[in-house]
Amino acid sequence: MTVRPLALVCVAVAVSLLASAPAEAQRRRRRRAGPGTLVLRTDVEGAEVIIDEEPVGYTPLDPQTLPAGQHTVRVRRPGFTEFDDVVTIESNRDTELDVPLIALAMIVTVRSSPDEARVFVDGSFRGTAPIELELTDGEHEIRATLPRYQEVVRTINARPGQTELVELTLEPIPEELLNPPDPEWYEEPLTWVLVGAGALVVAAAIVLVAIFATQSNAVDSFCPMPGDCLELPAITSPTWRFDM
């Protein structure tokens, strides 16, 4: 039996229509069914909610009307774990989604007056103010520095899940400390070096005079009066001779 080309074309079209019928029927039912509602539940306030990669607001969030079907939900807030999930929205029904967020760090916002102060946390540079910091549980040292200003140090006892605003005011360094006047002559180090050297010379001279005076007194002990000096006999060494 010979199959005509026209018959083959008719069969292919029929198969295609039969295959697309269920999908088209499903789309029609979905359009007739209408959207559903997503109800988000979480204990953390101020977390950003993103649905299908579109930001929709912050917690606590009003119920969101969404088309029936699957949607991606992301909830995030600095200092907390991030939540990601895929939720299925049913037509004409409320779908509740519990969002557990676990606190990891304390959020500290640091502002300085003047602005642009360099901020260090426990000795490590973190950026310039104003800046938002995530601090782990425990005590931390926050230090702010700025040229020509006195640095400011603040200690923070961080608690995960909490937020705090830290405002630091830096006082300018006095002008006389930034530009000290020229030292007087008596403040120069060389002056005191020369003074010290002169003192050593004077001390040496005094010692020499004392030595000469002592020797002179020793001679005067043999000459009580001028012209009455006793002539000391010459001391000669004995001569020893041995006759054999």
Q: How far apart are CA 45 and CA 61, in angstroms?
A: 9
Positions in the chain whose pLDDT score sits under 70: 1-33, 180-195, 197-199, 201-202, 207, 209-210, 212-244
Out of 2.120.10.30, 3.20.20.80, 2.60.40.10, 3.20.20.70, select the CATH number for domain 34-102: 2.60.40.10
Q: What is the pLDDT of residues 153-187, one digit of tens each?
A: 999 999 999 999 999 999 999 887 777 666 665 55
How much is the pLDDT for 242? Answer: 47
Q: Which residues belong to CATH 2.60.40.1120 in the chain?
A: 106-176
The pairing of beta strand 138-145 with beta strand 118-121: antiparallel
Q: What are phi and psi of 163, to 5 degrees?
A: -130, 150
Q: Which residues belong to CATH 2.60.40.10 in the chain?
A: 34-102
Q: What is the pLDDT of residues 84-113, one digit of tens each?
A: 999 999 999 999 999 999 999 999 999 999
Q: How far apart are CA 48 and CA 55, in angstroms?
A: 7
How much is the pLDDT for 19? Answer: 56
How much is the pLDDT for 206? Answer: 78
Q: What is the pTM of this model?
A: 0.55
Q: What CATH number belongs to 106-176?
A: 2.60.40.1120
